[in-house]
């Protein structure tokens, strides 16, 4: 059991590195073979470690990966003249250098930009990123993205086919192209974190491994001077502020705990401090992105000593600036929630009337839950019952459903008192 946990942990953290290094050596056309080879390396680790786990498991994997490279070179040298030349001594030395930490990070960065190449369909990008960089199985990707495994298989196949057909280079873009490509990279990483922070899965609200993976990928970007932009620091700050609160989002019974009722002593304040360090670098910019404003909002929550002490006026300002920059029904809904805290019921009603619930897609239950809260404060019991029931009907996550059921009971108890 111990060796299984060790292999699982290392697989999650080392898979992407090993695939990226091998891809840099052999090229993207050999990606399916490379993924099989890395999988074999971890299977070999499981067998070898049953009797004893090595003192330095990562070094063991690195050595195994190097040996696997040389095995693959010998296997392919007869088939491909390009590969045959790698057997020369100088090329072998170069391969060893690719396993140095700085080169590993460079290889991973190349894979990140490959996964987010605009030639690939946006829906295929995130599946490809989770597979090649993060080592997620098709089943895990399907679960994360609420897809069928067969759909994930098709997306991965389509991405690999486009990479071959368009001869996509395994490289970090330069010049003006870097900025546009980096924007898409951040969008994909943001989606990965969000699915971890507020999962769409029916049986699980939080997926810490997805949050951790998004943060790890962002750190790779921050370690490179060309990608460590203010936007990158802002999104990492946002992740830090949000991740610091993960342990308090649910209780021991895996029930959702509202921000109002969260135990702030459980918040991990070293992460909050790291978030502020990155915000300091993030604001060294000539413009602020959506990540800047979202991070500023999250920072306000972590700075408040209690829910009652929250500076809702500041948060309202940030949300309004965010909505000006990128209008969305979610921003309007969040502004309505803030106005509820400020007891500005006329503003809440005006905002809710601007939102079409269908535009929130699977999150439409949030609209009805917010409307029920508005109706509660407005003394509209019949509407309150209607909207809370609608929210309960639409919500899919079990923890959120139980939270809304408890909320309905609180409303009814309050009405009888």
Query: Looking at the predicted structure, is the pLDDT value of residue 233 above 90?
Result: yes
Identify the band that residue 78 occupies on the pLDDT scale cut at 50, 70 and 90. Answer: low
Query: Looking at the predicted structure, is the pLDDT value of residue 93 above 50?
Result: no
Query: Looking at the predicted structure, is the pLDDT value of residue 171 above 70?
Result: yes
What pLDDT, on the 0 to 100 scale, is given for residue 237? Answer: 98
Percent of the chain exceeding pLDDT 90 equals 52
What pLDDT, on the 0 to 100 scale, is given for residue 353? Answer: 97
User: 395 with 404: CB under 8 angstroms?
Assistant: yes
- 105-162 per-position pLDDT tens digit: 888 899 999 998 989 998 899 899 888 888 888 887 886 676 788 999 999 999 999 9
User: 240 with 272: CB under 8 angstroms?
Assistant: yes
Distant-in-sequence, close-in-space partners of 132: CB < 8 Å, separation ≥ 6: 16, 19, 20, 31, 35, 111, 114, 115
Distant-in-sequence, close-in-space partners of 402: CB < 8 Å, separation ≥ 6: 255, 256
What pLDDT, on the 0 to 100 scale, is given for residue 113? Answer: 93
Averaged pLDDT for residues 372-394: 96
Considering the entire predicted model, what is its pTM? 0.83
Identify the band that residue 200 occupies on the pLDDT scale cut at 50, 70 and 90. Answer: low
For the ranges 58-72, 187-201, 246-260, which has the lowest average pLDDT?
Answer: 58-72
Beta bridge partners of 343: none
Averaged pLDDT for residues 215-232: 94
State which H helix or E strand residue 37 sits in: helix 31-48
What pLDDT, on the 0 to 100 scale, is given for residue 243? Answer: 96
């Amino acid at each position: 059991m111990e060796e299984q946990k060790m292999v699982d942990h290392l697989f999650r953290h080392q898979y992407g590195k090993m695939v990226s290094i091998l891809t840099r050596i052999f090229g993207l056309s050999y990606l399916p073979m490379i993924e099989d080879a890395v999988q074999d390396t971890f299977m070999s680790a499981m067998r070898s470690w049953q009797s004893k786990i090595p003192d330095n498991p990562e070094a063991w994997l690195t050595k195994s990966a190097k040996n696997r490279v040389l095995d693959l070179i010998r296997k392919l040298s007869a088939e491909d003249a390009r590969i045959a030349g790698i057997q020369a001594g100088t090329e072998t030395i170069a391969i060893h250098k690719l396993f140095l930490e700085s080169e590993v990070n460079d290889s991973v960065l190349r894979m990140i930009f490959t996964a987010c190449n605009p030639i690939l369909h946006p829906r295929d990008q995130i599946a490809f990123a989770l597979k090649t960089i993060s080592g997620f199985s098709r089943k895990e990707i399907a679960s994360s993205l609420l897809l069928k495994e067969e759909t994930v298989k098709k997306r991965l196949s389509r991405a690999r086919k486009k990479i071959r057909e368009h001869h996509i280079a395994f490289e970090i873009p330069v010049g003006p192209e870097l900025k546009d490509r980096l924007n898409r990279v951040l969008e994909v990483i943001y989606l990965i974190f969000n699915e971890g922070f507020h999962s769409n899965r029916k049986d699980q609200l939080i997926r810490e491994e997805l949050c951790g993976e998004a943060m790890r990928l962002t750190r790779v970007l921050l370690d490179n001077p060309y990608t460590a932009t203010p936007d990158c620091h802002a999104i990492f700050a946002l992740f830090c502020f949000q991740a610091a609160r993960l342990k308090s989002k649910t209780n021991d019974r895996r029930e959702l705990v509202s921000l109002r009722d969260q135990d702030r002593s459980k918040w991990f304040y070293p992460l909050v401090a790291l978030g502020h360090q990155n915000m300091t670098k993030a604001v060294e910019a000539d413009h602020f992105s959506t990540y800047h404003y979202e991070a500023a909002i999250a920072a306000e929550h972590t700075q408040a000593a209690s829910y009652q002490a929250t500076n809702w006026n500041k948060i309202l300002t940030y949300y309004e600036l965010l909505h000006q920059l990128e209008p969305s029904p979610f921003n309007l809904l969040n502004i309505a929630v803030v106005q509820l805290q400020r007891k500005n019921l006329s503003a809440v009603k005006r905002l809710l009337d601007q939102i079409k619930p269908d535009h929130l897609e699977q999150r439409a239950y949030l609209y009805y839950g917010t409307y029920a809260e508005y109706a509660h404060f407005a003394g509209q019991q019949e509407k309150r019952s209607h909207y809370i029931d609608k929210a309960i009907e639409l919500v899919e996550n079990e923890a959120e459903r139980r939270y809304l059921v408890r909320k309905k009971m609180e409303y009814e108890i309050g009405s009888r008192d």
